Amino acid sequence: GEDVEQSLFLSVREGDSSVINCTYTDSSSTYLYWYKQEPGAGLQLLTYIFSNMDMKQDQRLTVLLNKKDKHLSLRIADTQTGDSAIYFCAESAYSSASKIIFGSGTRLSIRP
């Protein structure tokens, strides 16, 4: 069945780059998403990538997709304290009834 896996924790120094990794199993996945969740809040869409792309950049965020290995990563450049949150990877297969499957989330903490 479909599954999305992420490492649970990541700690980086302020100003460094953060790289959050995700693997997925559904080869028919067509969209892959990154969401950010701050304490007590809902999920905020950060960015998403279509499976026929291998990279997408949006300001400090860079998404890399390796479709052969079913590996997705999110790089945050110049990490700031406001980036502290839980980051969720999610996948869906294209259809009008597409189901979005989420990973368990990676908690990013920032060291001064």
Partner 1 sequence: EAEVAQSPRYKITEKSQAVAFWCDPISGHATLYWYRQILGQGPELLVQFQDESVVDDSQLPKDRFSAERLKGVDSTLKIQPAELGDSAMYLCASSLGGGSPLHFGNGTRLTVT
Count interface residues toward partner 1 (CB under 8 A): 27
Question: Segment 53-82, which members bind partner 1 (CB under 8 A)?
Answer: none
Amino acid at 51: S
Counting Cα atoms < 13 Å in the Cβ hemisphere of 60 gives 13
Q: Is 41 in the site for partner 1 (CB under 8 A)?
A: yes
* Closer residue to partner 1 (CB): 17 or 98: 98
* Closer residue to partner 1 (CB): 96 or 112: 96
Residue 25: CB atoms within 10 A of its CB come to: 13
**Looking at 1, 27, 40, 82, which residue binds partner 1 (CB under 8 A)?**
40
Q: Is 109 in the site for partner 1 (CB under 8 A)?
A: no
Q: Which of 4, 32, 10 is nearest to 103 (CA)?
A: 4
How big is the CA angle at 94 (ends 49 and 55), to the nearest 5 degrees? Answer: 15
Q: Is 95 in the site for partner 1 (CB under 8 A)?
A: yes
Cα dihedral value 104, 30, 43, 86, nearest 10: 40
* Closer residue to partner 1 (CB): 35 or 76: 35
Which residues contribute to the site for partner 1 (CB under 8 A)?
4, 30-31, 33, 35, 40-45, 48, 88, 92-105
